[in-house]
Homo-oligomer: A and B are copies of this chain.
Amino acid sequence: MTSAAASRIKVGIVGGTGYTGVELLRLLSQHPYVDLTAITSRKEDGMPVSAMFPNLRGRVNISFQTPEKAALEQCDVVFFATPHGVAMNQAQHLLEHKVRIIDLAADFRLQDTQVFERWYKMPHACPSVLADSVYGLVELNRQKIADAQVIGNPGCYPTTVLLGLAPLLENGRKLVDTSNIIADCKSGVSGAGRKAEVSTLFSEASDNFKAYGVAGHRHHPEISEQLQRIAGAPVGLVFVPHLVPMIRGMFSTIYARILPEARDTDFQALFEQRYANEEFVDVMPAGSLPETRSVRASNHLRIAVHRPEGDDQLVILVAQDNLVKGASGQAVQNMNLMFGFPESAGLTHVAVLP
């Protein structure tokens, strides 16, 4: 750890009343180098954070404030745990005050503003900031993130699919048929957020399983844009998300067909080497079956590489906690890089099992 790392930073959160917000609060309140100085919510102005989230009683003593009172300009970094469209309207102002930004929504994920506008039904408010922003998937963009002023924190599904496919596509490798990769993805219900909606009521989502967004999901273009960046060419991806009756957890089953010329590849070794130095990506031994509970409430993502019956089909299994590595933990990991902290600072929690 450099001496820079030892200096504490002031951190603000915009919109902390959702699940990524409370998860940020849980992680940051236990972070060794962070002073949590402000959290905003127009609606809950004056309410102690711990009154809304009783798990934080005795640990987080600040209250929600309106943005006007929160003096975010004095922070070193501000996290946006807001709906899509909020961060892009406040970014310019904060940047002028040398405040760095990590957006957990989609405002800085898609570089192609036309695609953004098509999927999020709004024009992009600051294309120039977007152009300078960095896609905050640490294991792919570590160097750029360290220097970034604005981070677009990846979506939960993209995190699993991109880390599950990157070793196959990087460096111009020709290993699998990139015209038809299938990502069958499953998410816990917290991924739908803390908004009151009939479809995510306990009595609707419990003891039930379904697909959704089959006709099109916002994470699809995000994954495609990044896959193209990694592979250097468009990748044909079928992406179907499903809803699992569990609170946290995301599991992606990725199917890719091995090209004839790549049949002798040792895919297990390829993945192990790719992530050998990654603290938060665990390539499990051959034959392993990852479970979402093995990463519950932790920032780890586990991958297993299968080739059923020695056939030409790769099946990549990826498990993460959608609220940690898929959202708030990854955001803290980005922050650590940006401020020269050890990458795992505040992220060393062992997963909770059972």
Contacts and interface: CB of A to CB of B under 8 A. Distances in A.
A182 to B, nearest CB: 5
A286 to B, nearest CB: 10
A270 interface: no
Contacts of A172: none
A54 B294 contact: yes
Interface in A105-120: none
A190 interface: yes
Given A200-B201, A297-B352, A289 B214 contact: yes
Contacts of A184: 182, 184, 253, 255
A249 B208 contact: yes
Contacts of A204: 194, 202, 354
Nearest to A292: B209
Count of identical protomers in the assembly: 4
A121 interface: no
A184 B251 CA distance: 12
B245 A353 contact: no
Contacts of A200: 201-203
Interface stretch (A94-102, A151-159, A305-313, A327-335): A305-313
Interface string A191-222: 01011111011111111111110111000000
Given A216-B309, A247-B203, A247-B206, A350 B29 contact: yes
Nearest to A351: B55
Nearest to A323: B354
A202 B206 contact: yes
Interface string A14-50: 0000010010001001100000000000000000000
A259 interface: no
Contacts of A296: 55, 207, 352
A319 B55 CA distance: 12
B251 A210 contact: yes
Contacts of A247: 202-203, 206-207, 354
A90 B81 CA distance: 47
Which residue of A202, A248, A313, A315 has the most chain B CB atoms within 10 A of its CB atom?
A202
Interface string A171-190: 00000000010101010111
Given A184-B253, A202-B245, 14 more contacts: A26-B352, A55-B352, A58-B300, A180-B257, A180-B313, A186-B186, A196-B198, A197-B201, A200-B202, A202-B202, A206-B246, A210-B291, A238-B311, A352-B352
- Nearest first, the 4 closest Cβ-Cβ pairs linking A and B are A55-B351, A54-B294, A55-B353, A184-B184
Interface of A: 19, 22, 26, 29-30, 53-59, 180, 182, 184, 186, 188-190, 192, 194-198, 200-212, 214-216, 238, 240, 242, 244-249, 251, 253, 255, 257, 282, 284, 287, 289-298, 300, 302, 306, 308-309, 311, 313, 315, 317, 319, 323, 348-354
